[in-house]
Amino acid sequence: MVILWSDYFMLMLYNAGSIGVNNGYPANMNLETSCGLRAAMCCFADDSRGDGFAAHGDPVTDVCRHDLAASPQSNHIAKGWSVFPGEEAPAHCVGFAWKDGEEGLLGNMLFDVSLGATARKGYRANVPGAPMCGCVEHMPVVERAACRTASVKGAVSYSFTYDPDGGDVRASNSAEVVYADCEGGRDLKAQYVANQDGDAERAALIDGHLVGEGGCAADVEDYLNEVQIMGKGESQRYLFPDAARWSDLVVGEGSDFQPPMIDQVASDGHFRGLIGAGCPSPDGGARHCIVRRTCASCTAESHRDIYYQRVTTLPPPGADHGAGERYFLDLFMNEWTDDMNDMEAGDFALYSSYEDALEGTNAWKYCNYNYSGVGFPFNCGPLSAVDYQWNAYTQHKNSGYANHHGFYVEKP
């Protein structure tokens, strides 16, 4: 039988209890917003039969750490982190990876590595604070994971029945699905890399989730020193924009605290004036000046320094969105929307460096919008969705990781 991915029913239940959310979490199973790497994994902390992972020939792995904000439905904690230094009970992790267009058997593969493993081998219990299964972006960082795959033997047959009383048409499918270890004995990391077809930049994204044999010690040390324990002026994560090239701090929070002007119209006008000051383009013409956000507390390295290049004309100022008005500064602070601000439509581009922004090279490829109360850049990322790196000043203040950030504008 072909099994559906569990995302959709879970998503319906979650959204039924949420206000103003069209496609919210559970993040660990959300294919649309939280599975950009196209890989999923289950991690088991023990087994109910007591015969151990080795009895089934399954490798164990060391668990390095877990970002608690990546799985709030599992730990009921909005934000935090846990590390697992030294020796602890062994865990077994197993997963699968796929390419775009290969989603047909995702539900089967998830069943094989989750409930299937529990039924066949007695595996159960999650890593503390983490979901038992999910997209790798929402699972603990571990050294390695086994790899499984699924394929259909023969053809899929479908049958349909009609209920004349209720008027319903019911459909079912039948197929012989074959489960196996990944080709050539590949582990999950090797399979993920093979799926990228030589794209080294994308292949390297898995390194932050599967760190390799013996890699936990260095990973945890780097995480504690560079991600969580910071002193301004001591950590390289604090950036100090050159005053000759960048404006004074426009607005910011935390270590870069700078409130906007009390008068929203004046504050927005000041911001617009900086953007429209006439910065030169490489061909000698004029363009909008670049907006820059630095973020020392962002956990994703890609989001510690972002450059927004506006391409189309800024919408007129005001609060009447139906008339095409928008306070542009609030777009960055609290309401990151695609209304007159759509990357795919060509309104703007995002970059990871000033040089790329000037040359128009290596622009980010993914952006999403419209989560009420969440500001720049929601889950936008260089290649796929990156969660919790956004800032907010009102409704969701301190819910994301961008609690120490500041906005600047390029000088002409």
Q: pLDDT at residue 14 above 80? A: no
Residue 245, in any domain of the structure: no
Q: In this structure, what are the phi and psi dihedrals at residue 158, rounded to the nearest 5 degrees? A: -125, 145
Per residue in 166-186, pLDDT (tens digit) is 667 777 767 788 999 999 999
Determine what percent of the chain is predicted with pLDDT higher than 90: 56
Residue 41, in any domain of the structure: yes
Higher-confidence position of 319 and 288: 288
State how many domains the chain has.
2
Same domain, 48 and 165: yes
In terms of average pLDDT, the best of 4-8, 158-162, 243-247, 388-392 is: 243-247
Same domain, 217 and 259: no
pLDDT at residue 329, rounded to an integer: 97
Per residue in 84-105, pLDDT (tens digit) is 987 777 899 999 999 988 888 8
Same domain, 211 and 271: no
pLDDT band at 22 (very low <50, low <70, confident <90, very high): very low
Same domain, 199 and 347: no
* Short-list 286, 271, 332, 280, CA closest to 307: 332
Residue 244, in any domain of the structure: no
Sheet holding 63-67, edge to edge: 81-83, 63-67, 141-142
Per residue in 214-264, pLDDT (tens digit) is 999 988 888 876 655 555 666 677 889 999 999 999 999 988 999 998 899
Q: 67: which strand partners?
A: 81
Same domain, 83 and 222: yes
268-283 per-residue burial string, b: 16 or more CB within 10 A, e: under 16: bbbbbebbbeebeeee
Residue 90 belongs to what domain range?
Answer: 7-228
Q: What is the mean pLDDT of the chain?
A: 87
Same domain, 307 and 210: no
Q: In this structure, what are the phi and psi dihedrals at residue 147, rounded to the nearest 5 degrees? A: -135, 135
Same domain, 194 and 321: no
Considering the entire predicted model, what is its pTM?
A: 0.64
pLDDT band at 293 (very low <50, low <70, confident <90, very high): very high
Residue 233, in any domain of the structure: no
Same domain, 215 and 339: no
Same domain, 197 and 256: no
Q: Is the peptide bond before 59 cis (omega within 30 degrees of 0)?
A: no
Joined tokens for residue 200? 């080294």
User: Half-sphere exposure of 234 toward its Cβ, with a 13 Å CA cutoff?
Assistant: 8
Cβ-based neighbours of 321, under 8 Å, separated by 6 or more: 339
Residue 236, in any domain of the structure: no
Q: In this structure, what are the phi and psi dihedrals at residue 143, rounded to the nearest 5 degrees? A: -75, -45
Q: In this structure, what are the phi and psi dihedrals at residue 337, rounded to the nearest 5 degrees? A: -120, 165
Mean pLDDT of 191-206: 93
